Amino acid sequence: MLTADDHTAYHRIGPGASNSLTCEFQATLHVVFVHFTNFTRGNPGIILAPPASTIQSIREIIKKELLSLYPDREIDSFVDILCQHRLDLRRHEIGMRKHEILMPPDAEWFREAISKLKKNVPVQYITGDTEFLDLHLKVSPAALIPRPETEELVKWIIEEQGGLRFKILDIGTGTGCIALSLVRGLPMASVSATDLSEEALDLARDNSRKLGINVDFMLHDIRTEKAPEGLSRLDLIVSNPPYIPAGEKESMDANVVDYEPASALFVPDDDPLVYYRHIAAMGKDILRPGGLLYLEIHENFGEQVIELLENSGFEKTELRRDINGKDRMVRAIKP
């Protein structure tokens, strides 16, 4: 007797499967299913296999379950990220192979991923990785998920300082995305990086090892400690510090507030520039004359950050907008 357990066929999709084999398999499966359906009519003891999962069916389920939580474009991005991670497919392959049948473990993984997305878990924490410029990085709730705006900050530095033998400090490194990208983009540079979280530093060191990129990571809290020993006459300091006033938390998305580390996001409402003040003070001590500060900032505090830096003795300040037209980056020079 035919049963679902004995005669359910699955095709493992992956980068090596041929389109002709896929089509032949699907045609055969269709014929078997039709004959099997005819055979089972009038035989109530036979159990039909449940519908097999495909990329297309997974996409439809994700849209149905998440439509009230996320816009269409973001949902499509989730599908792409999940398929690239789990099935090792390039983006252009996902649409071409959307009707291929998933192996049961893969289908179950997607169901679990959908359940997590419904609970607002960031998709990057589900996959455990993300892309930053040309780097593939491990991520975890120990550190912020790298953003495109921070990529722009790194590009600005590389465009202006390429080819120089710089000594650089990254303050608040998180995943290590800025520090690692600067070593990759400025191969003659020597880069150190600090964070106040040992868990974040473990993550950054793991990324450093996997990428084969050398960065000197150090535990340090700029608010309460002097400059790390051995750091002096630096050419450049870069930082994407916490800058969101705590009062804005209520208006932010749950997938950020509920899962990403608050210590890397929020500052007191009555002192939103606290990190910039300490960075400026340290910069005055350990930057060489002509040394540079590059900072990511809150879109509403551009002029205040500029004023703080100029009052701290920095000059030739420049405020730059991001791809969305928002004030997002500042550069300043120590005279």
The pLDDT, as a whole number, for residue 251 is 95
Q: Where are the alpha helices (DSSP H) in the chain?
A: 4-7, 19-40, 55-66, 72-87, 91-96, 104-118, 123-127, 148-161, 177-185, 198-211, 254-257, 274-286, 302-311
> How confident is the model at residue 51, as a pLDDT?
56
Check residue 92 and give its pLDDT. 87
Q: What percent of the chain has pLDDT over 90?
A: 77
Q: Whole-angstrom Cα distance, residue 273 to residue 277?
A: 6
Burial of 40 (0-12, 13-18, 19+ CB in 10 A): middle
What Å distances lie between residue 198 and 87, 194, 262, 317, CA to CA?
33, 10, 15, 33
279 touches 220 (CB < 8 A): no
Residue in 82, 230, 88 with CA at minimum distance from that of residue 167: 230
How does pLDDT run across 224-261, given as a tens digit for each residue?
Answer: 999 988 899 999 999 999 999 999 999 999 999 999 99
Domain boundaries, the chain: 4-119, 127-333
Q: 127-333 is classed in which CATH architecture?
A: 3-Layer(aba) Sandwich (3.40)
Which pTM was predicted?
Answer: 0.83
List phi, psi (to 5°) of 303: -65, -35
Predicted local distance difference test score (pLDDT) of residue 84: 94
What is the pLDDT, as a whole number, of residue 309? 98
Task: Please state, in angstroms and rounded to a whole number, the distance separating the CA atoms of residues 306 and 106.
Answer: 51
Other CB atoms within 10 Å distance of the CB of residue 14? 14
User: Is residue 214 exposed (0-12), middle (13-18) or buried (19+ Cβ within 10 Å)?
Assistant: exposed
* DSSP secondary structure letter of residue 7: H
Smallest Cα–Cα separation from 267: which of 259, 258, 277?
277
pLDDT, position 48: 38
pLDDT the model gives residue 49: 40
For position 134, what pLDDT does the model report?
A: 94
pLDDT recorded at residue 230: 84
Model pLDDT, residue 44: 47
- Give pLDDT < 50 ranges for the chain: 1-50
Longest dimension (CA), the chain: 90
Q: What is the pLDDT of residues 99-151, one digit of tens each?
A: 999 999 999 999 999 999 999 999 999 999 999 999 999 999 999 999 999 99
Whether 294 and 157 have beta carbons less than 8 Å apart is answered as: yes
